[in-house]
Amino acid sequence: MPVRYSMYDAGSATAVFPALVRLYAVVYAEPPYAEGPDQVAAFAAALPGEARRPGFTLVVADDVGELVGAAYGSTMAAGRWWTRADVEPPGDLRGVDKFAVMEWAVRLDRRREGIGAQLLRRLLDGRPEQWATLASNPAAPARAIYQRAGWQQVGGSAMPDGTPMHLLVLPLPATPVGAP
């Protein structure tokens, strides 16, 4: 049976949160993250607030009832940019809505199957925002994947624990007004 992809909005995503937390615990226990129970608990506690953000969308990959990957994000409104950014965003990027990808995770044993690419494609497809943006740990394997996919670094930041992050952007195709 092939992997099944499902999309959720703020109203329907809460049913998937327990499986999403389990996936997060497995993926982010890996290096370079090495997150433990405290970070997983903080992630779980933050999920309801994340889901209340405008434009929240969650895409999950399920294989026979097991969550093997997920990606989610929400709209970063015009005028906003990443907290702790070391530089202002280029050009008029600050002045437009952006879609902020907050998490993208695929189980280690399911990588290199195209699941991650499909998750991001589905998450970003048809977005009304002009740009997607995300923060990536430069030591993570995902950073090279983003570069190959056309994401461009526009600055840096740091997590509260001091972990350096690259701030990346990707132009999104324009969605025609009135398009489904």
Q: What is the pLDDT of residues 145-168, one digit of tens each?
A: 898 888 999 999 988 777 899 999
Cβ–Cβ < 8 Å for 61, 118: yes
Average pLDDT of the segment spanning 69-83: 95
**44: in domain:** yes
Asked, for residue 30, whether it belongs to a domain, the answer is yes
Ranges assigned E (strand) in the chain: 4-8, 57-63, 66-76, 98-106, 131-136, 152-158, 164-171
Q: How many domains does the chain have?
A: 1
Which pLDDT score is estimated for 175? 55
pLDDT tens track for 54-72? 999 999 999 988 999 999 9
In a domain, 180, yes or no: no
| C-alpha to C-alpha distance for 166 and 164, rounded to whole angstroms | 7
Percent of the chain with pLDDT over 70: 96
Distances (CA, A) of 10 to 47, 53, 59, 158: 10, 8, 12, 28
pLDDT higher than threshold 80 for residue 19? yes
**Which residues form the domain of 40?**
4-171
